[in-house]
Structures are given as structure tokens and as C-alpha cells.
Amino acid sequence: MTFPSDLEIARSVQPRRISAVAADLGLADDEIELYGPTKAKVSLKAIERLEAANPRGKYILVTAITPTPLGEGKSTTTVGLAQGLNRIGKRAAVAIRQPSLGPVFGIKGGAAGGGYSQVIPMEDFNLHLTGDVHAIGAAHNLAAAFIDNSLHHKNPLGIDPFTITWPRVVDISDRALRKMVIGLGGRENGVPRETETVITVASEVMAVLALARDLADLRARLGRIVLAQRTDGTPVTAEDLRVAGAMTVLLVDAIKPNLLQTLEGGPAFVHCGPFANIAHGNNSILADRLALATNDAVCTEAGFGADMGAEKFFDIKCRASGLRPDAAVVVATIRALKMHGGVGKIVAGKPLDPLLAVENVDAVRAGAQNLAKQIENVLAYNVPVVVAINAFPTDTPAEVAAIQEVSLAAGARDAVVTTHWAEGGRGAEALARAVWSAAEEGAPEFRFLYPDEAPLRDKIEAIATRIYGAAAVEYQPAAAKALKQYEEMGYGHLPICMAKTQYSLSHDANLKGRPTGFTLPIREVRLSAGAGFITPLCGEMRTMPGLPSRPGGENIDIDAAGNIVGLF
């Protein structure tokens, strides 16, 4: 039997009118802005009204083991869990990120969930939605244009061109734009200098929008963005360049959360999409606040493994929002744990290694040490953990039992097999009951990994040793100089947003499982003063992906009836 594609499943469901979904949440007609019948934006005033009127729901984070290039079904589990919670009588919502067009047309495909646990309309979700990403790109590039314009007009701010750190952005994977020389062609075409282009979801403006509490906070954060330095070493901000106000104007609609729905008609908030291996990897604070004010439970997702998105959720997002999680789910698949245990190889776009479909309890048990470490990482914040075993047809009872044994020994409350991909909410009811039980007990003394006042090096080393399992941290001279400079400039209180590979607990994607004894190299450190964090770059990290030899965009087209085809 051939299982229908995600797109076919999404189109098989007649969605509810989004106005009806909004009404169920207690939103008034004048608090939503319709973008057709199936999606809407919600006003910021509605968030304030609903927070004042309603108790806060349970805040549930969905994270994962160190993933393979195929992913472990984290988005699918987030949606499935919310559907399962609704089925057991709890009003539950999804709060997730909007995907970048780069991965959609590159190697990953869609990010709306999968199977019978998706957010719809699937095509809109994965493509332009309500235009937020484009607005973010426009605001970012406006600041870049202002910098070069200031240089052209006699440089009144005394900007040192060699210190400009503000790139340009585009939301397509385009490796040819990674490094560029601009301003060529004569005096009227600008001042020649080297620069780069990064993907829009890696923009600091994206990170700022996701962390902003309201429009005034957004305006203030944009003004604090450091774009360059003067020749005397002092920072040049977007406020100094007098561009922060115009940037804010471009984002007055983008700051409003987007309301969609799941396949089963429950609410889904889709807002912002910062990368997790470069930026903080979480959806917006505003969307979470809105969801928490209108539901018994909110399932939100953090990018990649618990060492990446979850650590940043706890140490960056929760610091900015003041919100505290009640429970966390760590998603695992048996095929990924086998790979971490040294069996088989998983390459996106290529057939799955046959060894991964053969029972191998020893490999699962060995690879599950990665799961154990990710459970420990969440418990470091005193948040209760439930493991979701995202089931595949080739899984065996003995392999499942091995995961459950390792999970419980590592401190998880439960480890539950889920079939939400094939069965929707019905396949996540057992997970929903376990998660609700954990959330009801909650985390009475949630704790951050490090205090605000700790030196930047101590914060980096806390993440490296306690979350990644490193033995030591090694700083390249440029990184050490930057850390000293940022502390002298008054940014030492900021949290850390590590940039490293998502495919290992370490900086080296080849180190699978639970590596130990390694030294984490920090080659560069960047300041994101508007977003409010410091970003150390570990090993070789790129802020502009490239397309694979066979981009996913080759499959995307329009059929004779005008329907989008080829999205997965």
C-alpha cells in the first residue's frame, strides 16, 4: 500500500475558516486580519487583553536527540502532541517557526509537520505565508543600504569600512553570494569593499523580531543593533545611522503572530524562523504569549537537538520572555539511534541504508547514549522530560524496550511510542497523557545554566562542558580579542548563542553518539546587541547554505489545474 504524500494528505482535509478558529480562542473580529479564508494575523492588543483575562496554559517544549539530515520528526511530533492533547480533553495549540525558502527549495523540503500531523494550508506555510520573511529581509537590507550611503556621502559618522559587520540577506540558498566585493563601477556606485550575504533567517533582525515583547521593544532592539565601529573603536548602531525607525515601520505587520490550524482543526501559531545552528532557533515570544493566554497547553518547538535549540530556548528565550516551561519532550527515532551507535549512514536525498531496517538492539543501546545526554541537558534546567519514540514500521519491541530502559535510567518521566504521523492525534494520546502529567507537576525551581553576571568565557565554557560534554574550550586570537572588547563595551551581561553543527554534540559533525574529551574551538565571536546575545562560532560554520546537486526545487511546479506540486 502506498501512503499518500504530505501534500496529498493536507489537500484531503477541508480546513475550517480561520475566523472560526479565532473565535474558539476568544478573539474578536477586529482583533484578526484575514489573509484569505485559512490564515490570519492577530493584533498585539489582543494579546494584552487575553493575558489579562485568562490564566496561563502549560508551556511544553518539544526538542530532540542529535538529528540525522532527515530529521527525527520534531515538527510532526509538536503538531501530533497538540492534536493528542485536544483529543484527551485539553485545549492545546501549536506554536512553531515559519520555514526558510532556502531549505524548502534546497534539501529539506517542507517543515509543516508530516503525515496526519501537519499545519495547513501546507503550501502557504512553506512558501510566503503572510510575507513576514520578506519584510525582515527588507528591513535588514535597508540598514545595509544606509551604511553604504553614509560612506558615499563623506562618511559623517566616521565609520571604519573594515569594521562593518552588517551583511546583506536573501532567503534563498546561494553560495555564490557568500563573499562579495561591492561598490564597483566608479565613484557614483558606492565605496568598494568586501562584504557577504547571509540567508534571511540568520539575520539579527529575524532574531530581534522573535524576541521582541511589543512594538516599542522591537523599536528599541533595532536601534541597539551594532552595524560597525568608528575609527576610534566606538560602536555605530542603527540608531546612530537613523535607520531604526524606518526598519520598524517595515515590520509593523510582521510583528503580529500568524494564526493557522492543524489537520484536525486546532489552532497553530506560526511566527518567525531563526536558524538554530546559527541564531536562537525558536519561534516568537509574542506567538507563545498569545497561545498561552488562549489554551490549556502550548506545544512549541526548538530547532535541532536539545544541545542547540532547547539550550537557547532556556537560556535566551526564557530570559527575554520571563516565561518558564512546565515540561519538555525529547523526540527520538530508532533509525537515528542506530546511526549514533555506529550502524548505517543517512544521507539526505539518497536511499536509506538497509542496515537501519534490521533489528540491532546493541546499536540502539549504544546510540541511545546520545538520547541520555539530551535528557540530561534538559534536566540541567530542572524541567521534567518525556521521551517520544517516533515510530517507524521497521522498529521492533526489543529496540523500543532498549530506548525506554535508557530513557528512564537517564531521568525521563516516561518514554512513549507515538504513531501520530500515521494516525494523527489518536496516535499521540498516550504521549499527551504522559506530557500533561509531567506538566501538571511542572518545574518548581526552573534554573538557568549560568547567571547574567558571569564572564562571557564562563558562560561559553558552561555550555561547552555541561551541555556538549567538552573537556575544554580553545579560543582563537580573534575570538579572545572580541570577547575582551565586548565586555569592555558593556555587553558582558548578555547570554550566549552558540553557532555550531547540528549533527553532533560537538563541533565536528563526524563525532556521533555521545563524544567526550574533545576541545571545542571558538574561531570567531560576533555581537548581536539588538537581539541581546553574543554568538561564538565553533569550528566551520556557514551563514549562507548552498543548494545540493539535486535541489528540492527541481520537483516543485504547477500542474495543469494550477495546483502546486512537489512539496514534501
* Residue 564 in grid coordinates: 502546486
Q: What are phi and psi of 319, to 5 degrees?
A: -65, -45
Q: Is the pLDDT of residue 102 over 90?
A: no
Q: What is the DSSP letter of 496?
A: B
* Residue 330 in grid coordinates: 525529547
Instruction: For residues 519 and 506, give the distance between their C-alpha atoms in angstroms, rounded to a whole number.
Output: 9
Under 8 Å between Cβ of 9 and 118: yes
- Going by C-alpha positions, the residue among 313, 299, 307 that lies closest to residue 428 is 299
- pLDDT classification of 70: cutoffs 50, 70, 90: confident
Q: Which residue has the cell 572588547?
A: 485
Instruction: For residues 142 and 140, give the distance between their C-alpha atoms in angstroms, rounded to a whole number.
Output: 5
User: Could you say which of 74, 317, 338, 373 is catalytic?
Assistant: 74
* Residue 550 in grid coordinates: 539535486
Looking at residue 547, its pLDDT comes to 83
Q: What is the mean pLDDT of residues 257-283?
A: 95
Q: Is the pLDDT of residue 175 over 70?
A: yes
User: Could you say which of 276, 297, 327, 332 is catalytic?
Assistant: 276
Looking at residue 69, its pLDDT comes to 84
Q: What is the mean pLDDT of residues 436-454?
A: 91
Active site residue 314: no
Q: What are phi and psi of 507, to 5 degrees?
A: -85, -10
Q: What is the mean pLDDT of residues 242-252?
A: 98
Active site residue 108: yes
Kindly report the average pLDDT of the chain as a whole number: 94
Looking at residue 1, its pLDDT comes to 53
Looking at residue 385, its pLDDT comes to 98
Task: Using DSSP bridges, classify how beta strands 40-42 and 258-262 pair: parallel, antiparallel or unpaired.
Answer: antiparallel
User: Could you say which of 304, 313, 314, 436 is catalytic?
Assistant: 304
Instruction: For residues 304 and 300, give the distance between their C-alpha atoms in angstroms, rounded to a whole number.
Output: 13
* Residue 553 in grid coordinates: 526545487
Q: What is the mean pLDDT of residues 42-62?
A: 97
Looking at residue 87, its pLDDT comes to 98
Active site residue 419: no
SS3 assignment, position 391: coil
User: Could you say which of 38, 63, 76, 300 is catalytic?
Assistant: 76
Q: Is the pLDDT of residue 239 over 80?
A: yes
Give, rounded to a whole angstrom, the gap between the first and last alpha carbons of the chain.
19
Under 8 Å between Cβ of 111 and 104: yes
DSSP H or E stretch at residue 439: helix 429-441
Under 8 Å between Cβ of 374 and 333: no
Looking at residue 4, its pLDDT comes to 87
- Going by C-alpha positions, the residue among 18, 225, 1, 232 that lies closest to residue 125 is 18
Ordered strands of the 472-475 beta sheet: 472-475, 519-528, 533-538
Active site residue 49: no
Q: What is the mean pLDDT of residues 404-411?
A: 98
**Cis, peptide link before residue 121, omega less than 30° from 0:** yes
Looking at residue 276, its pLDDT comes to 85
Q: What is the mean pLDDT of residues 214-236?
A: 97
Instruction: For residues 27 and 30, give the distance between their C-alpha atoms in angstroms, rounded to a whole number.
Output: 8
Please give the domain boundaries of the chain with CATH numbers for all domains: 19-131+254-441 (3.40.50.300), 132-250 (3.30.1510.10), 457-538 (3.10.410.10)
Instruction: For residues 292 and 289, give the distance between their C-alpha atoms in angstroms, rounded to a whole number.
Output: 5
Active site residue 421: yes
User: Could you say which of 41, 58, 87, 108 is catalytic?
Assistant: 108
Q: What is the mean pLDDT of residues 106-110?
A: 69
- Which residue did the predictor score with more confidence, 111 or 138? 138
Looking at residue 316, its pLDDT comes to 98
User: Could you say which of 421, 436, 518, 533 is catalytic?
Assistant: 421
pLDDT > 70 fraction of the chain, expressed in percent and rounded:
99
* Residue 366 in grid coordinates: 549504544
Q: Where are the beta strands (DSSP E) in 107-203?
A: 113-114, 117-120, 168-170, 180-182, 193-195, 197-199
Instruction: For residues 64 and 390, give the distance between their C-alpha atoms in angstroms, rounded to a whole number.
Output: 11
Give the DSSP per-residue string, 103-114.
Answer: HHHTTS---SEE
CB-count burial class (<10 Å; 0-12, 13-18, 19+) for 301: buried
User: Could you say which of 39, 41, 87, 97 is catalytic?
Assistant: 97
Instruction: For residues 419 and 306, give the distance between their C-alpha atoms in angstroms, rounded to a whole number.
Output: 22
User: Could you say which of 16, 163, 178, 392 is catalytic?
Assistant: 392
- pLDDT classification of 458: cutoffs 50, 70, 90: very high
- Which residue did the predictor score with more confidence, 513 or 548? 513
> What digits encode the pLDDT tens for the residues 482-530?
999 999 999 999 999 999 999 999 999 999 999 999 999 999 999 999 9
> CB under 8 Å to 261, separation ≥6 — which residues?
15, 16, 18, 21, 38, 119, 120, 267, 268
Instruction: For residues 423 and 412, give the distance between their C-alpha atoms in angstroms, rounded to a whole number.
Output: 25
Residue 421 identity (one-letter amino acid): W
Q: Is the pLDDT of residue 108 over 70?
A: no
* Residue 354 in grid coordinates: 538497509
- Cα distances (Å, whole numbers) of residue 348 to 18, 365, 551: 35, 24, 11
Residue 393 identity (one-letter amino acid): P
Q: Which residue has the cell 573603536?
A: 233
pLDDT > 90 fraction of the chain, expressed in percent and rounded:
85
CB-count burial class (<10 Å; 0-12, 13-18, 19+) for 347: exposed
- Cα distances (Å, whole numbers) of residue 400 to 306, 331, 334, 457: 21, 13, 8, 40
Residues in the chain: 568
Q: Is the pLDDT of residue 457 over 90?
A: yes
Q: What is the mean pLDDT of residues 185-204?
A: 93
> What digits encode the pLDDT tens for the residues 328-374?
999 999 999 999 999 988 877 678 888 888 999 999 999 999 999 99
Looking at residue 106, its pLDDT comes to 84
